[in-house]
Structure 1
Amino acid sequence: MRRGKSTSWSDFGQAGLHCVQLPEEYGGGGVGLSELLIVIEELAAKGIPLLLTVISPAICGSILAAHGSAQMKADWLPGIADGTKKMAFGLTEPDAGFNSHNVTTTARRDGDGWVISGGKYFISAIDEADAVLIVARDQDFVGNSRSPLSMFWCPPMPPG
């Protein structure tokens, strides 16, 4: 990337700058989040703050790498690594803010799929994301405590 040349999200992906913590087999650098933080800080010091790097590769990419199915990893991690796909993180709610303990959005099974009900707001990068990772509670969970949190991949602007 030359000085004076306009760079895009894809340019950073092709340079490997926002995927250093993703597994190598999916196009990442195979190191950790500490190394990604160094990249983010250095870019910001040069006047290139990339909030989307914290959201898509760092939060969503790391969650997918650790907990996603083999198919989800294959479908999403290479694109997140090379900058051709972006994800948003749907945590924030009107009455919960970003405190996950107070999330009230629920998910319930419906046949082979899920129905998610609730409200999310102030979702950074939703306008440019290819998908959003939604945090919701399993409505059908029966236990002695608050239902556990789950995450669901959704299109950024689904119908309804």
Structure 2
Amino acid sequence: MAGTTDVDFAASQQLMCECEDIYAKLTKFQPTTSKPFKGSREELTKLWTIVDQTVHNREQGLHVNLALLDAFGRSGNDGRFTASGVSVGECKLYATLHTLALIDPDVLRPHARLGAFFERFAALEPSRAVIDTGGEMPGKFAQYFIAGS
């Protein structure tokens, strides 16, 4: 889970940190099942539309984070960021991308490498089990973040 090399370990940790940045933005602006009206529509729109990487991190939209992730890591488009392809950072990335895809199914369209990663990881049996049934948990997970209305 930590990767087979120091480079893989560092990549895994960086993926986890980037995912935490995305989650922090979601918790601040994205409506949830328990709080369907959160912040302003303007803030929510900015979260999903701003692509300017030159502004401060707190003002960047999600697609800036996704573009940085798309450009990160191993060369090629084999759907992996580490040699194993299943480091803890990649697990966290899959969960984060799945959360975003539940809100907007087309969110990964502009990010080919992330799309390849997401599709590969989603096809893994352990991923399928968690998504389809909850795996070893008592039941299937419910969606928490929802699309803004």
* TM interval, short-chain normalised: under 0.3
Highest relative contact order (Cα 8 Å, sep 6+), 1 or 2? Answer: 2
Q: Which structure carries more helix by proportion?
A: 2
Larger radius of gyration: 1
Q: Which structure carries more strand by proportion?
A: 1
TM-score (norm 2): 0.26
TM-score (norm 1): 0.25
